[in-house]
Amino acid sequence: MTDATEHTTQESTEPDVLSQAAAVLDFGPVCDHCLGRMFGKRSFALSNAERGRALRTAVALQANTPFEAEEDGCWICENICDETDELAAHAVAALDGIECNTMLVGSRVPPMISESEEMVWSDLGLSSPEPLKAQINREVGKKVSAATGIPVEFTRPDLVLILDLATKEVEVQINPIYIYGRYCKYERGIPQTRWHCIACQGRGCERCNFTGKMYQTSVEELIGGPVIVACDAEDAILHGAGREDIDARMLGDGRPFVIEVVHPNKRTASLAELQKEVNEAAAGRVSITLDHLSSRREVEKIKSGKAHKKYSILVEIDGSISEDELESAIEGLKGVTIAQRTPERVAHRRADKIRKRRVIDITCTGMEENLYRFEITGEAGLYIKELISGDNERTDPNLAGILGKPARVIYLDVVMVEGVVPETSTNNSEE
């Protein structure tokens, strides 16, 4: 009995939909779309136009007045609701020459229209309206999808069509393609990413021969160049799991990276095709292995990851040392946590602070032309050159300090980067 009473009381407090609909009509000429939108969440399986027509009819029946059909010149939407065919045609035309597998439609509503519908919601206390933006996005999206065969995707579409309802113009926002892989760098003197000229900040000057760059090319450009052409893209940005020095090689299985392809008009090139084109264009300098389509989330993952790295280096040590001295120095570094103040060579672009990193393993594998070959595995962020030289006592302990003789790295190669686990997903979605 109590439940029934509560139910009856609840029903009696529900807004009178027909009274509210009549009040909406009293504001001025309103199209069926906008009348129906004011109660868009109060029923199902009806379009807003059908709902508005039904409400208009019910109001006339309840008031016992002549039925008045919708008038031209809706004061709320300015008849934009009747222009979805035109808007869809503009959107389809904007897709010309662009490849995509999924899309989404969005819109920009003129401020006056937004203010008009919000005034009705507020003045009448409407609790279940649907905004004009939602109706336009849905109806135009269905028409564009039907005309092109491209499905609508809400979470991570290949592109978004933004309709300007005031001008009928369409902006195409093409989402990037992210590709995960590994690269090897065989040539010293190449930076990982583009390095703007420090004198002109990329504008071009005599110092950089008006290229705007400190170095002629980079790993990013050697990989990105062919990708930009194949995808008809604006740019390609390389996100690496750390970076090697410019004068170091990256060998072994390579360094994990994600290449972000910016504004790609083409998305059908296979990873195998892209890999082949890059490796042919950059032969002898850089090679890549592409694994899967990636995401921005994986970019964040590899850039924040703490991958251990293994190095093979050739070291010059002044004067002679015995095997016992060398072995003792190695034991003094193996497994030790090193305190490293920001090296002098990078102090101009990195915060001056002390970082602690562990030497996981260190061995001397022999001699090559009076140089000592070392293999060192260290935690991410361990500066290898300074571990050897001491960097004017900014790194402690260090090989030179333990030996009591100056020592320096002549050649450095990264031979392994581990600790970065790629995503198992092979799609381009983001959760």
Give CA–CA dist 30/76, Å, rounded: 7
Choose between 195 and 316: higher pLDDT.
316
The CATH number of residue 354's host domain is 3.30.70.3190
Q: How many domains does the chain have?
A: 3
**Does residue 26 lie in a domain region?**
no
Q: What tens digit of pLDDT does each residue of 294-338 get? A: 999 999 999 887 889 999 999 999 999 999 999 999 999 999 999
> Rounded distance, CA 139 to CA 142, Å?
5
Structural domain of 396: 309-417
Q: What is the CA radius of gyration of the chain?
A: 33
For residue range 41-78, what is the model confidence (pLDDT) as tens digits?
A: 887 788 999 999 999 999 999 877 777 777 778 999 99
Spatial CA neighbour of 177 closest among 239, 223, 219, 236:
236
Dihedral over alpha carbons 293, 297, 298, 301 (to 10 degrees): 180
Residues 199 and 212 in one domain: yes
pLDDT at residue 168 in the model: 94
Which residues are paired to 417 by β-bridges?
309
**Closest to 174 measured CA to CA, from 223, 107, 88, 102:** 102
pTM here is: 0.83
Length of the chain: 431
> Residue 236: is it exposed, middle or buried by C-beta count within 10 angstroms (0-12/13-18/19+)?
buried
**Among 255, 272, 304, residue at a domain's last position:** 304
Which domain CATH number covers 91?
A: 3.30.2130.30
Q: Are residues 202 and 292 in the same domain?
A: yes
Domain final residue pick, 174, 192, 220 = 174
Residue 133 in any domain: the answer is: yes
Q: Is the pLDDT of residue 8 over 50?
A: no
Name the token pair of 106.
Answer: 């969005």
Domain co-membership, 276 together with 356: no
- Please name the residues in contact with 276: beta carbons below 8 A apart, sequence gap of 6 or more: none
CB 259 within 8 A of CB 390: no
Last residue within a domain, chosen from 122, 141, 174:
174
- The predicted pLDDT at position 419 comes to 55
334-386 per-position pLDDT tens digit: 999 999 999 998 887 778 899 999 999 999 999 999 999 999 999 988 999 99
Task: Identify the band that residue 107 occupies on the pLDDT scale cut at 50, 70 and 90.
Answer: very high
Question: Which positions are annotated as active-site residues?
Answer: 245
Give, in order, the Cα–Cα distances in Å from 382 to each of 103, 210, 301, 374, 387. 45, 36, 20, 15, 8
